[in-house]
Amino acid sequence: MGIVERRKREKDLRREIAMDAAMAIYNEEGYHAITMEKIAERCEISRASLYLYFKNKDEILINAIVDHTEYFTDILQDLYENREQLRDNLLQELWARFIDFYEKEPETFNASLYFQNSEMILNLPENLRDNIDESGSKVVSLQHKIIEYGVKAGMFIDCNPMTLSEVIWTSFLGIVQLERSKQVLSRKGHYESTRDLALEVLSRGIVKK
Amino acid sequence: MGIVERRKREKDLRREIAMDAAMAIYNEEGYHAITMEKIAERCEISRASLYLYFKNKDEILINAIVDHTEYFTDILQDLYENREQLRDNLLQELWARFIDFYEKEPETFNASLYFQNSEMILNLPENLRDNIDESGSKVVSLQHKIIEYGVKAGMFIDCNPMTLSEVIWTSFLGIVQLERSKQVLSRKGHYESTRDLALEVLSRGIVKK
Amino acid sequence: MGIVERRKREKDLRREIAMDAAMAIYNEEGYHAITMEKIAERCEISRASLYLYFKNKDEILINAIVDHTEYFTDILQDLYENREQLRDNLLQELWARFIDFYEKEPETFNASLYFQNSEMILNLPENLRDNIDESGSKVVSLQHKIIEYGVKAGMFIDCNPMTLSEVIWTSFLGIVQLERSKQVLSRKGHYESTRDLALEVLSRGIVKK
Amino acid sequence: MGIVERRKREKDLRREIAMDAAMAIYNEEGYHAITMEKIAERCEISRASLYLYFKNKDEILINAIVDHTEYFTDILQDLYENREQLRDNLLQELWARFIDFYEKEPETFNASLYFQNSEMILNLPENLRDNIDESGSKVVSLQHKIIEYGVKAGMFIDCNPMTLSEVIWTSFLGIVQLERSKQVLSRKGHYESTRDLALEVLSRGIVKK
DNA sequence: AATGAATGAGGTTTCATTCAT
DNA sequence: TATGAATGAAACCTCATTCAT
């Protein structure tokens, strides 16, 4: 009863490794530097073998994103489920989850942002696009529900919860993007302080005391 | 003094056209669809001739970014010079300039941001990277000065002006990025409402009454 | 004496199945769509296992041809053995056997002809080529003997029997080829009438009354 | 008025050379041995340059066929136009044109036959398929008209002219195919005698005295 | 100055075959 | 015996850039 299972596990592991390799290359050299050759090299697998695990190059990247986004979904889901115990810390907690995700896997975060914005998506086969879309939608919808709860509960200012959730999320998004920008240009960033001040400003602007 | 000058003018014009072409292609088909072939076609110039105006492909893109950023610098500079007359509307005015820049040429705005963050830059020779860097720095520095004025004048909460200016800018940046994301996935966006609510939140969070 | 024999029988069966699969694929998707992968799939055998039965891909195809040609040899042999009873119908009967072979398995007929003419053979190791050659030779030789009998018996016009047998055979060959051509281009064919008129013409041209 | 024209001439010449190279390779090593690499090598042109002359590999082959088939069309057309002066030699003349075409460019003839039958056509883009189809149709239609004339003029037996023209053409087709078969297997052929006897038989079977 | 032509370098993907289990 | 996994070799095609005119 072991062999089939072990094979499956090994295969999954290899897939994981390949996806990580792709991400790493993305982070070091950018999207269009990702080649099957380089991925193969890092995995110490032959180029041809990669095609045993993925139908084509795109699939590696897409799967990497979708997979890693799941972690994000999970921590948001967790927050949503515990919303009642949080009392006045809903915003802080949400922000903390953003930070958690970003700091745990900055490459993934960056890559996700990149892919979701990039034209790459335009040239994707329908089904892969749907994968990404769906995975993104889950995140959006969770954020929405969390904020909606805050608004209804009277913690937040009275406004359209969807819009508000976008304001919060984009606030974080922009910070990360700027940070990335700086990295690319090898300037030093102030990510932490910007991030903290942003939260402070948001609190003041959003939370009813 | 006529002929030489005319030649120069014509050359500059050609450069302009080529850069616009590159931007247009980016917007219609995405970054990696920008080929010398396509640029040439749009310019009604031969591919080889492009090399008379630019040393290589990168130069076209870099210059396009730098050029278009100049408009942004200008309107920020203008704001800075008139800071005194604005009284309590400094934040609103700054925000309005962001919107102005973005709405005037959303494609350019997108493209600039994209290029600045993209791996393109990673693979750039030092000197070209510096060009971009410098052009970006001007914008940053202007924003900084504007916000610093606001803080010192007691209009804004008491905090590091550089950090605050980043908070404001990234707030806008994130909104634009989300909007772009949605376009790519052909979902409908709420850019205006998000943008307005963001300003409201920022005002509450930043402006002392 | 049971087990060894059964093993052999099973092996032969597997070989047969594989060759049929190859032919079927040829017919449905064309020569260069024949891949070990697809053959294996149809056989419900693993790709690697095919190499237990055949030394390589070519061997599958060659054997397929040779095998199927055997049926043709058989019905020609049968005709030859009964040549005396046929009296004036020798040509008609020969023609009928051609038709029989073709109509029994048109795909196989096509495939065999195709393979025999195709470049596949050019790139074949000596020994495999000989296999094909030998199998073809038998057919040729039988036709030759049949026609020779007809000429000697005074049924057919006086001429080199080998040449005459080629005239008859190629006449049929051409018809089949044209038919195939039409199928490929999805034009409708008139195989039956062409075939019948050809026989009529041949009769008039060959048979002494 | 010189330079553009010369360029065009040179380009056409290069195309011609490439097509010939492809044909030659086909003849020596078979269809699927035709690679861009080999063609390039023979032309003493870089692989990439071939793409200046042809959109893709298929186009080289298709154009080669279509081009060369034109010669066939021409000599059949010529025959048709002079049908009245030929009196009783219509069949002989037609046959002679077949021989002419085949002997002038046996490779082309073979290649045409191959391509028209092969699955390659199935995988062809619509427009290329049409090219081939059209070029083939012209030949068919000319033969038909020639034979129809013979039947109506009472030279040939009374029968469906289309069918008859197929009988004659396939008769030749088969002979060529057999010859090819033999070449492939490096057996010696009797093409000339078969061909001549076939004509004799056809004459007897078809022509009214 | 302007451009058609040429090409090297590189990217993705397929497939027959081998190997370890 | 049977097979999942691995891979080298090769094919097609694209594109930035150079060169000759």
| Torsional class of B208: left (φ above 0), alpha (ψ -120 to 50), beta (otherwise) | beta
| pLDDT (0 to 100) of residue A111 | 81
**Nearest residue in chain B measured CA to CA from A133:** B185
The region of weakest confidence among B127-131, C183-187, D16-20, D157-161 is C183-187
Contact (CB, 8 A) for B119 and A32 = yes
Q: At what angle do helices D106-117 and D3-29 cross, to 10 degrees?
A: 70
Q: Given pLDDT bands bounded at 50, 70 and 90, which one contains residue C142? A: very high
**CA of B45, closest CA in chain A: separation in Å?**
26
Average pLDDT, chain A: 90
Chain D meets chain C (3+ C-beta pairs below 8 A) = yes
First to last CA, chain A: 60
Contact (CB, 8 A) for A175 and B174 = yes
A32 touches B at CB < 8 Å: yes
D48 touches C at CB < 8 Å: no
| Residue-wise pLDDT tens digits, D79-88 | 999 999 998 8
Report the C-alpha gap between B139 and A128 in whole angstroms.
38
Is the pLDDT at A117 greater than 70? The verdict is: no
Is the pLDDT at D3 greater than 70? The verdict is: yes
CA distances, D73 to each of C178, D67, D143 (Å): 18, 10, 9
- Cβ separation A185–B114 shorter than 8 A: no
List the structure tokens of B113.
């941001």
Nucleic acid strand F: bases within 7 A of protein CB: 1-20
| Torsional class of C208: left (φ above 0), alpha (ψ -120 to 50), beta (otherwise) | beta
DSSP class per residue in chain B = --HHHHHHHHHHHHHHHHHHHHHHHHHHH-GGG--HHHHHHHHTS-HHHHHHH-SSHHHHHHHHHHHHHHHHHHHHHHHHHTHHHHGGGHHHHHHHHHHHHHHH-HHHHHHHHHHHHSHHHHTS-HHHHHHHHHHHHHHHHHHHHHHHHHHHTTSB-SS-HHHHHHHHHHHHHHHHHHHHHHHHTT----HHHHHHHHHHHHHHHHB--
List the structure tokens of B44.
């009604």
CA distances, A187 to each of A178, B173, C13 (Å): 11, 18, 71
**CA of A180, closest CA in chain B: separation in Å?**
7
| Residue-wise pLDDT tens digits, C26-78 | 888 878 889 999 999 999 999 999 999 999 998 998 898 888 889 999 999 99
Contact (CB, 8 A) for B195 and B96 = no
Contact (CB, 8 A) for D65 and D26 = no
As a rounded value in angstroms, the CA-to-C1' distance for C46 and E19 is: 15
| pLDDT (0 to 100) of residue C32 | 82
Q: Given pLDDT bands bounded at 50, 70 and 90, which one contains residue D118? A: low
B52 contact to strand E (CB, 7 A limit) = yes
Report the C-alpha gap between C47 and C29 in whole angstroms.
19
Share of chain A above pLDDT 70, in %: 97
Report the C-alpha gap between A149 and A43 in whole angstroms.
45
- For the segment C152-167, the average pLDDT, to the nearest whole number, is 96
For B94, residues 6+ apart whose C-beta sits below 8 A from its C-beta are B79, B143, B146, B147, B168
pTM of the entire predicted model: 0.85
Is the pLDDT at A1 greater than 60? The verdict is: no
The number of beta carbons lying within 10 Å of the beta carbon of residue D20 is 18
**Nearest residue in chain B measured CA to CA from A195:** B167
| Residue-wise pLDDT tens digits, A75-86 | 999 999 999 999
Report the C-alpha gap between D198 and C172 in whole angstroms.
12
